[in-house]
């Protein structure tokens, strides 16, 4: 928790709230890592709707949970699926085997799509979103109102020869309203926040193939979900999210338990050249100068870091499982070579 020391100092002497405005510099910074807690039961007494307006206080210092995950904000072009979203500025990777790709523009942030991957079976489902409008608008402040939408179509791989198995169509419309500002108190401290009310109207259509009869008539699911999101300045990710279906059932809450702030931009000289592709026991690559080689798995986890010399280098990869990996080099001068994707196959 040492990296939170400056935050504790900032808030230690006062929890008086102030109205804030979030701009581009408050959004995601590359290298930020967040640890989130989850709570899906015991939320019946929480009523978010009644706490709109100015100078509110939300006390969630009581939160405790053994359920947690982490997410990392990275540059999109160092991820394995960047070719599917070439205009993406950054990607958000999670331990739940997801990448979310987003595009930054002067007015806000637009969602481009999502990848759900299986690193064991090397099976990926790619959702190319057809997004209209920004999911996050600059500036975001008390009284802001807007809407955006996205849709996608996914056809899953066949489970038997000569046929499809499932087709899924989605269309979602989101109404955004910054309906409150005040102080949010979490276990790690108080924060000045704005609260965003997000109402999502979701339509999911599913077609299932039944061999040899053909495609079943579509199954259509309509749903409405209300979510309250709490944002503060500089952190670059929502501090807390509380959601419920419009019926009031299936409530869920997640919040930031801890975070590590990363660096903004990485400056790249060129791309690492590696061979062979795919690799089995050894991987070869060249470096223009000595430095550090970093090998990262598909989940964004650093699995090996070694010192290398100028010229041709070789590393033993026989101890690593088959799958997709990234290899990058930080030169002694401090510059980076853009990581390259490689495959271990046996």
| CATH number, domain 268-344, options 3.40.1450.10, 2.60.40.3080, 1.10.940.10, 1.10.3720.10 | 2.60.40.3080
Pure H helices in the chain: 5-11
Spatial separation of the C-alpha atoms in residues 115 and 326, rounded to whole Å: 17
Q: What pLDDT does residue 219 have?
A: 82
| Long-range Cβ contacts of 214-220 (<8 Å, 24+ apart) | 215/167, 218/169
- The yes-or-no verdict on residue 223 having pLDDT over 70 is yes
Name residues whose C-beta falls within 8 Å of residue 144's C-beta, 6 or more positions apart in sequence.
137, 176, 177, 178
Q: What is the CA radius of gyration of the chain?
A: 23
Taking alpha carbons only, the member of 59, 58, 60, 55 closest to residue 181 is: 55
> Model confidence at 329, in pLDDT bands (50, 70, 90)?
confident
The answer to whether 310 and 284 are in contact (CB under 8 A) is no
Which pLDDT belongs to residue 336? 66
Q: Are 145 and 176 in contact (CB under 8 A)?
A: yes
Listed ranges 143-147, 321-325, 329-333; the one with the highest mean pLDDT? 143-147
Burial bucket for residue 101 (CB in 10 Å: 0-12, 13-18, 19+): buried
Q: How do the domains of the chain map onto residue ranges?
A: 2-260, 268-344
179 vs 31, residue with greater confidence: 179
pLDDT tens digits along 10-22? 333 234 467 999 9
Give alpha helix (H) positions in 237-319. Answer: none
Question: 199-213 as b/e, with b when 16 or more CB fall inside 10 Å?
Answer: ebbeeeeebebeeee
The alpha carbon of residue 292 and the mean position of all alpha carbons in its chain are separated, in whole angstroms, by 27
pLDDT tens track for 131-190? 999 999 999 999 999 999 999 998 876 555 555 667 889 999 999 999 999 999 999 888
The pLDDT of residue 237 is above 50: yes
The whole-model pTM stands at: 0.72
Q: 242-277 pLDDT, tens per residue?
A: 999 876 568 999 999 888 877 655 455 566 788 888
Q: Using the 8-state DSSP alphabet, how is residue 319 labeled?
A: T
If phi > 0 it is left, if psi is from -120 to 50 it is alpha, else beta; for residue 133 that is left
- The pLDDT of residue 30 is above 90: no
């Amino acid at each position: 928790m040492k990296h939170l020391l400056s935050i504790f100092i900032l808030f230690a002497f006062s929890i008086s709230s102030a109205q804030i405005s979030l701009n581009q510099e408050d959004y995601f910074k590359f290298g930020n890592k967040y640890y989130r807690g989850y709570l899906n039961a015991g939320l019946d007494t929480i009523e978010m709707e009644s706490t709109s307006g100015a100078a509110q206080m939300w006390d969630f210092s009581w939160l405790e949970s053994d359920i947690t995950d982490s997410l990392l904000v990275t540059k999109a072009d160092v991820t394995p699926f960047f070719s599917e979203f070439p205009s993406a500025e950054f990607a958000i990777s999670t331990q739940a085997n997801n990448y979310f790709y987003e595009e930054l523009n002067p007015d806000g942030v637009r969602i481009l799509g999502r990848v759900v991957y299986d690193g064991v079976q090397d099976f990926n489902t790619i959702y190319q979103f057809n997004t209209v409008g920004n999911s996050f608008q600059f500036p975001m402040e008390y009284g802001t109102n807007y809407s955006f939408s996205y849709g996608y179509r996914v056809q899953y791989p066949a489970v038997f020869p000569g046929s499809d198995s499932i087709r899924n169509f989605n269309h979602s419309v989101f109404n955004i309203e910054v309906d409150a500002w005040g102080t949010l108190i979490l276990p790690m401290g108080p924060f000045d926040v704005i609260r965003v009310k997000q109402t999502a109207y979701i339509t999911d259509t599913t077609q299932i193939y039944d061999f040899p009869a053909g495609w079943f008539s579509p199954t259509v699911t309509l749903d409405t979900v209300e979510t309250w999101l709490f944002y503060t300045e500089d952190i670059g990710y929502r501090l807390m999210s509380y959601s419920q279906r419009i019926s009031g059932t299936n409530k869920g809450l997640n919040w930031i338990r801890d975070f590590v702030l990363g660096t903004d931009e990485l400056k790249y000289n060129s791309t690492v050249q590696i061979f062979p592709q795919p690799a089995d026991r050894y991987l070869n690559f060249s470096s223009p100068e000595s430095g550090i080689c970093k090998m990262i798995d598909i989940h964004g986890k650093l699995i090996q870091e070694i010192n290398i010399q100028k010229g041709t280098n070789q590393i033993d990869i026989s101890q690593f499982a088959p799958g997709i990996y990234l290899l990058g080099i930080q030169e002694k001068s401090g510059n980076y070579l853009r990581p390259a994707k490689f495959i271990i196959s046996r």
